Structure 1
């Protein structure tokens, strides 16, 4: 989001919390308190705004006796929340996290993909306007850092220890307790075949695709981050019931172990006897609705597009030839080994790139320049993928079953919390954790319309939050009743937030991009999401339902 877009968002939010307060709430002290709370908690503002807030907060409180409601707008402008220049409308087709003013650096992007757990993260999960109630949370994570799935011919495999040790970096203060708690896992309930999957990575020389200690720490941090974000909301009470928590994973050890590490960070020392870990046999988490011929056709078209783009890249071809010559293998043999997977592992773990010794004793090594060329082509591929559109159509059909299940859960929880209805404690699952892969999260982002989001890094997360607005005042109820809007009141009571790696991306999604969040309602109505999943998302494939989209013969 650009500078002007952020300023516009924060200005509208400031206006909602100050100018639009009812008359009886006009006391400047109360208004200013809400204003400061807003910019502390709810605004994702410009870096300059945060810097100014740090400098001006003492000034704000020192000036309290001299402030009045009429000059609060000046205060907003002072801390750079209200822009002083006109806002010009911008295209929606912008990169929603960081606007690129120049070509992205392939190596820098790769370090972001590593997601090394060595810095403090800011998460916006759990944030909402005052008095809104959080009803449910559904989280999908990508597994943490793993060992490569492929090895580069004629080179030594990276020397990484996949056992867990608190004395080895990176570590976490919960790591030792997590290791001990996993030893009690036999008490849990496991859907077949998950009971035979080891609950901890345990090889001193990592096996292919095995979760590393870095991956475990990433997920412990993820879980702990959300525990902190949702602590005040009491989303899972201390006496939570088995029905309130839903955990699912594919059968790969890296996803099972990632899910358990996340869960332990979120719910330390959880009761194993209450936990059921459910198996998803497909990486698309499509359950019993996986059969879809049209989805497979779109995927084949996407793979053909990828192939054509790769073979037309002369710099990439030259790089593979040079790498193959260094290693003493055929170029096609090197391509088949997908060397970028192993090179990324070397980069993420601070290891030198592989070297080989030739017949004459000369040493040849793969280089950072070669790595950068392959990464550059991957970034080019992401741009071309969005331009052509085959992948987006594939993603719509691939992720409909998961999105429909998500929508159904939200709708069920919302119905149980409708105005005037007393919710039954512990009757619905209010926290769902799905431990998945990059090939799950990437199409999910595309299906939601977040096609410009960065490719899922290790331990990436997508979060769906369901919120309920505060009860209507007596005056609002009378006003709605006089307009005959009683049924619409239910629709106005529930809202959705979507977050990707801690960033609120709700208003970049297809279903909420056009919502006017400056018109008194800063959250996205749940009904928008329900309509999108049940009907609107199929417009991309010229259909009105999943069944029609999957089985209609190609024209």
Structure 2
């Protein structure tokens, strides 16, 4: 009997140790050896870690996961929060399109097999996904500004096309739209129940992924909307600069910024070695691999939990990915420090910010047109705006990122209006250049709208140096 009890005790202890060992491996607390597979090896699946808390030091995997923005738990947000005596007057939403298929392919590798049809019972799931597909099917022939009317209203290819929105991208913006609906319509009643076309201003670039992202957000915001009330305008420029796109000085800033990026890459010997290793794997010159922008394709593999490409020469692996992603993060840090990009951002963001404050001013005067604005855009749209506002700590725009401007009226003093700015649900108003000192200088709980107006109409030009007092002068001055 004693022998049997000891045997059972040892068996239980062994099972416990095995469980602890597997748990540590699962949570990456001890390393797990993995042999590199050749072209004929099995698909290398990996467990996608879940970013719960901010790591104490820069972690390229954590940053990549934030960039992917994989729909999982419900998101908390600070949109629509204000003292009780303030009334919401207008809302202006800037979004980056949702998750997409890569824009570039790594030469001599198999394209990632992602299905771009929308399937209601497939992950990622959203309760409005099936209704979205049905409603988009009813919108064929919808009259949008040319050339938008010729674009598909939702993704629908068994194998994604380059740059095409994925089901993940649709779900990301359905979630965004529903979140904004719960706050702005149900809580604050921003739009009347009989809203019309005049209450909305919708604008997108001529890419299917931006139009479809805008429609997904809109469907989450206004389910089963009347197609006759929806009109998307086409924006030819990713900067949304409309008729004010010619700006030679802005381009000079951009050239200097691109030169800075080039020099930083030359100094990174680990990056060059990594590109060399990857080029040997796919059997192409290193310059050709770099030109193919491999991080774009690798991020797609990473975000969709698909093994990185393999050839008969070996496999691109997580260490390669981490080196390239780390360089991206370091590049963003140096970009903020050198401030060459800031000049580009101030001139690049001015037209769209100027349009936004013009709409806010009309809303502050009591006009009800265009009180909900949606710009469906790109990372190269949001990045200059974030930088121009002085949000130096803001991360690079993730898939389905949202930047929101809220205009509020003081019910006790109706002539006073205030502004709130939120990035991915986090209030960043008091981190902006125009309002970072407000709390030190004023007892008012909200940032005055005048601060933003003065910033766009005057202070943005002063930040460039020189004596320019208008956008035209700043774009054409000499000696930059």
Q: Does TM, scored on the shorter chain, surpass 0.5?
A: yes
Which residue of the other structure, out of 180, 192, 195, is the alignment partner of 1:240?
A: 195
TM-score by length of 2: 0.87
Q: 1:310 to 1:547 in 2, by over 3 A?
A: same
Residue of structure 1 equivalent to 2:433: 510
Shift of 1:553: 1.4
Which residue of the other structure, out of 276, 280, 300, is the alignment partner of 1:345?
A: 300
Which residue of the other structure, out of 200, 205, 208, is the alignment partner of 2:162?
A: 208
How do residues 60-209 of structure 1 correspond to structure 2 at under 5 angstroms? 102-186=56-140, 188-209=142-163
Shift of 1:166: 0.5
Distance 2:204 2:110 in 1: 32
Confirm whether residue 533 of structure 1 aligns to residue 474 of structure 2.
Answer: no
Shift of 1:186: 3.8
Question: For residues 524-548 of structure 1, what are the alpha-carbon distances to aligned partners after superposition, in whole Å with 9 as ceiling and x for unaligned?
Answer: 0000000000001111212322111
Query: Which consecutive unaligned segments of at least 5 residues does structure 2 have?
Result: 1-51
Shift of 1:163: 0.7
Shift of 1:296: 0.5
Distance 1:519 1:442 in 2: 30
Contact 1:187 1:273 in 2 (8 A): no
TM-score by length of 1: 0.75
Residue 434 of structure 1: SS of its match in structure 2? Answer: strand
Question: For residues 220-247 of structure 1, what are the alpha-carbon distances to aligned partners after superposition, in whole Å with 9 as ceiling and x for unaligned?
Answer: 0000011111121111121002110111
Please report the RMSD computed on the Cα atoms of aligned residues, expressed in angstroms. 1.6
Shift of 1:517: 6.5
Confirm whether residue 296 of structure 1 aligns to residue 234 of structure 2.
Answer: no
Residue of structure 1 equivalent to 2:376: 435
How do residues 438-453 of structure 1 correspond to structure 2 at under 5 angstroms? 438-453=379-394
Residue 468 of structure 1: SS of its match in structure 2? Answer: strand
Contact 2:69 2:399 in 1 (8 A): yes
Distance 1:375 1:506 in 2: 29
Contact 1:123 1:229 in 2 (8 A): no
Residue 189 of structure 1: SS of its match in structure 2? Answer: coil
Distance 1:241 1:324 in 2: 55
How do residues 387-466 of structure 1 correspond to structure 2 at under 5 angstroms? 387-416=337-366, 427-466=368-407
Residue of structure 1 equivalent to 2:42: none
Which residue of the other structure, out of 357, 379, 383, is the alignment partner of 2:333?
A: 383
Contact 2:142 2:149 in 1 (8 A): no
Contact 1:497 1:506 in 2 (8 A): yes
Bigger mean CA deviation after superposition, 163-172 or 395-404: 163-172
Residue of structure 1 equivalent to 2:219: 264
Contact 1:147 1:211 in 2 (8 A): yes
Shift of 1:184: 2.1
Distance 2:191 2:142 in 1: 18
Distance 2:273 2:283 in 1: 15
Distance 1:387 1:112 in 2: 23
Contact 1:147 1:345 in 2 (8 A): yes
Residue of structure 1 equivalent to 2:479: 554
Bigger mean CA deviation after superposition, 515-524 or 221-230: 515-524
Residue of structure 1 equivalent to 2:231: 276
Shift of 1:104: 1.0
Shift of 1:189: 3.0
Question: For residues 361-420 of structure 1, what are the alpha-carbon distances to aligned partners after superposition, in whole Å with 9 as ceiling and x for unaligned?
Answer: xxx11110110000010011011101111101100000100000001111111122xxxx
Question: For residues 55-75 of structure 1, what are the alpha-carbon distances to aligned partners after superposition, in whole Å with 9 as ceiling and x for unaligned?
Answer: xxxxxxxxxxxxxxxxxxxxx
Shift of 1:518: 8.3
Q: 1:131 to 1:189 in 2, by over 3 A?
A: farther
Question: For residues 307-345 of structure 1, what are the alpha-carbon distances to aligned partners after superposition, in whole Å with 9 as ceiling and x for unaligned?
Answer: 000011001001111111122221111111111011100
Residue of structure 2 equivalent to 1:56: none
Contact 2:96 2:399 in 1 (8 A): yes
Residue of structure 1 equivalent to 2:322: 372
Distance 1:246 1:517 in 2: 36
Residue of structure 1 equivalent to 2:266: 311
Shift of 1:99: 11
Query: Which consecutive unaligned segments of at least 5 residues does structure 1 have?
Result: 1-97, 359-363, 417-423, 473-488
Confirm whether residue 522 of structure 1 aligns to residue 445 of structure 2.
Answer: yes
Distance 2:136 2:82 in 1: 35
Question: For residues 259-312 of structure 1, what are the alpha-carbon distances to aligned partners after superposition, in whole Å with 9 as ceiling and x for unaligned?
Answer: 000000011011111111100010000111111000000000000000000011
Q: Which has the higher contact order (CA 8 A, sep 6+)?
A: 2
Distance 2:277 2:141 in 1: 54
Residue 439 of structure 2: SS of its match in structure 1? Answer: coil
Distance 1:509 1:100 in 2: 22
Residue of structure 1 equivalent to 2:410: 469
Residue 541 of structure 1: SS of its match in structure 2? Answer: coil
Q: 1:546 to 1:519 in 2, by over 3 A?
A: closer
Shift of 1:188: 3.8
Confirm whether residue 501 of structure 1 aligns to residue 424 of structure 2.
Answer: yes
Distance 1:250 1:324 in 2: 34
Shift of 1:452: 1.7
